[in-house]
Amino acid sequence: MLGPVILAASRSDRMRRLISAAPVTKQVVDRFIPGETVADIVPVIQDLTGKGLELTMDVVGEDITTPEQATAARDAYLELTGRLADLGLGRKVEMSVKLSMFGQSLDGGHELALKNVRSVVEAAAAIGTTVTLDAEDHTTLDSMFAIHEELRTDFPQTGCVIQAYLFRTEADARRLAASGSRVRLVKGAYKEPAEVAYQQKHEIDKAYVRILRTLMDGTGYPMIGSHDPRLISIAQELARKAGRKPDEYEFQMLYGIRSEEHLRLAAEGHRMRVYTAYGTDWYGYFMRRLAEKPANLRFFARSMITK
Ligand code: FDA
């Protein structure tokens, strides 16, 4: 029951100000967002890649309000790409972007977001890596899929995310699987109405399995974005049945969640990619992590009381 309340708070400016200003917040935030600048994050990237993990980097931020902020977001990704090139890590580290951070919701936002993300995709391709478009709330997805398709004309490795909780996703998955795309399947992290999305966990999990089967049986590259042990073992079974080799799909998990499992899967010979977020505008990302697991909220609340 707490999840929807926290997700509603994630859209509130008042809660944003309150929570961001609390002195203890940062310690809890660090568990999920281990740095604010490229300089902070480089040692984290080196540590994780040194352990045999691959990464997808997210410069946190979303729902910006001016084109200048969208340009700044693009520049933050370009700075990161330049640093990855210096480190020679382009092949191990890809990038995840939220189009709302690139201006998608502004006037003329679709074109603006496409222009900004194209610069990042070009820079990524120049160092041998790629970009995945994150999925935000359902109202943004037609634009996201159109941008994804457009980018794939020149950069076929560009990936996108689909969310098992949405009714539309089974059809999206069939289209993407047939077109040979890289696709990350997740359960979905936003507050969505019953008209467009399953609300019960068991329904979402069942949809996840149906969609994953479509992706595994298709011609694309499935990226299994989940920490759920049951779904991870089902994914392994579906990959085996579809005759996929270990380099024909990958697992993805979030930094700070089930970290032992990241290492276990990598040690078993799976490609394991850790979604690692950094930056200063962490509020929305952090609140979604709290909403996913109420125990996180209890830990957060306790640290506020005891400090
Ligand atoms: P589930 O929520 O059932 O969790 C399974 C287990 O994992 C839990 O029992 C717990 O042990 C652990 N766990 C999960 N979340 C936790 C947390 N926050 N803190 C501590 N433990 C936790 N969503 C979206 O809408 N758009 C997107 O683009 C993305 N991108 C994305 C990338 C990657 C790599 C991942 C892994 C996830 C996303 N998500 C996302 C988030 C996704 O939609 C979903 O909210 C979370 O992954 C939680 O769902 P699980 O599949 O892990 O299952």
Q: Which domains does the chain have, with CATH numbers?
A: 34-281 (3.20.20.220)
From ligand 1's centre to the CA of 87, what distance in Å? 29
Q: For 55-74, b where at least 16 C-beta lie within 10 A, e where not — what string?
A: bbbbbbbbebeebebbbebb
Contact 35, 282 (CB under 8 A): no
Single-letter code of the amino acid located at 248: E
Distance of alpha carbon 165 from its chain centroid, rounded?
15
| Pick from 165, 159, 189, 204: nearest CA to 177 | 159
Nearest Cα to Cα of residue 62 among 277, 254, 305, 206: 277
H helices present in the chain, as ranges: 2-9, 13-21, 25-32, 38-50, 67-87, 109-126, 141-154, 169-178, 201-217, 229-241, 259-267, 283-292, 294-306
User: What confidence score (pLDDT) does residue 172 get?
Assistant: 98
Give the mean pLDDT per block of 10 residues along the chain (307 residues).
79 78 75 94 97 97 92 97 93 96 96 98 97 98 98 98 98 97 97 96 98 98 98 98 97 97 97 97 90 80 62
Kindly state if the Cβ of 275 falls inside 6 Å of ligand 1: yes
**Residue owning the nearest CA to atom 5 of ligand 1:** 228
Cα separation, 2 vs 290, whole angstroms: 9
In this prediction, residue 306 carries a pLDDT of 56
* 187 annotated binding-site participant: yes
From the alpha carbon of 291, which atom of ligand 1 is closest?
18
Instruction: Say if residues 78 and 42 touch (Cβ distance below 8 Å).
Output: no
Query: Which atom of ligand 1 is the closest one to the Cα of 275?
Result: 34
Ligand 1 centroid, distance to 111 Cα (angstroms): 30
Ligand 1 pocket member 293 (CB < 6 A): yes
Which ligand 1 atom minimizes the distance to the CA of 231?
A: 51
CB of 16 sitting under 6 A from ligand 1: no
Q: Cite the active site residues.
A: 134, 184
**Are the CB atoms for 121 and 95 separated by under 8 Å?**
no
Report whether residue 186 contacts ligand 1, using a CB cutoff of 6 Å. Answer: yes
Contacts of 222 (CB under 8 A, 6+ apart): 183, 185, 212, 215, 216, 235, 239, 249, 250
**Residue 181 gets which letter from DSSP?**
-
Structure tokens at 10: 């994630």
* Coil, strand or helix at 46: helix
250/275 Cα distance (integer angstroms): 12
Q: Does 227 appear as a known binding residue?
A: yes
Token look-up 């700075």 returns 79
Q: Which of 132, 166, 227 to mutate to test the pocket of ligand 1 (most atoms within 8 A of CB)?
A: 227
Tokens of 280: 């200063």
> Ligand 1 centre and the CA of 228: distance in Å?
8
Q: What are phi and psi of 131, to 5 degrees?
A: -130, 145
Q: How far is the CA of 161 from the centre of ligand 1 (A)?
A: 13
Measured CA to CA, the distance from residue 143 to residue 12 in angstroms comes to 24
For residue 200, the 8-state DSSP code is S
Q: CA 88, CA 81: separation in Å to the nearest integer?
A: 10
Q: Note the pTM of the prediction, 2 decimals.
A: 0.96
pLDDT of residue 24: 60
The confidence score (pLDDT) of residue 185 equals 98
Query: According to the annotation, is 163 in a ligand binding site?
Result: yes
223/205 Cα distance (integer angstroms): 16
pLDDT at 11: 79
Instruction: Please tell me the residue having the least CA distance from ligand 1 atom 8.
Output: 228
Query: Taking phi first (over 0 means left), then psi (-120 to 50 degrees means alpha), and beta for anything else, what does residue 180 get?
Result: left
Cα separation, 195 vs 18, in Å, equals 32
Is there a binding annotation on residue 148?
A: no
Cα(141)–Cα(82) distance, integer angstroms: 29
Distance 226 CA to ligand 1 centre (A): 5
Residue that has been written with the tokens 């950069």 in this structure: 155
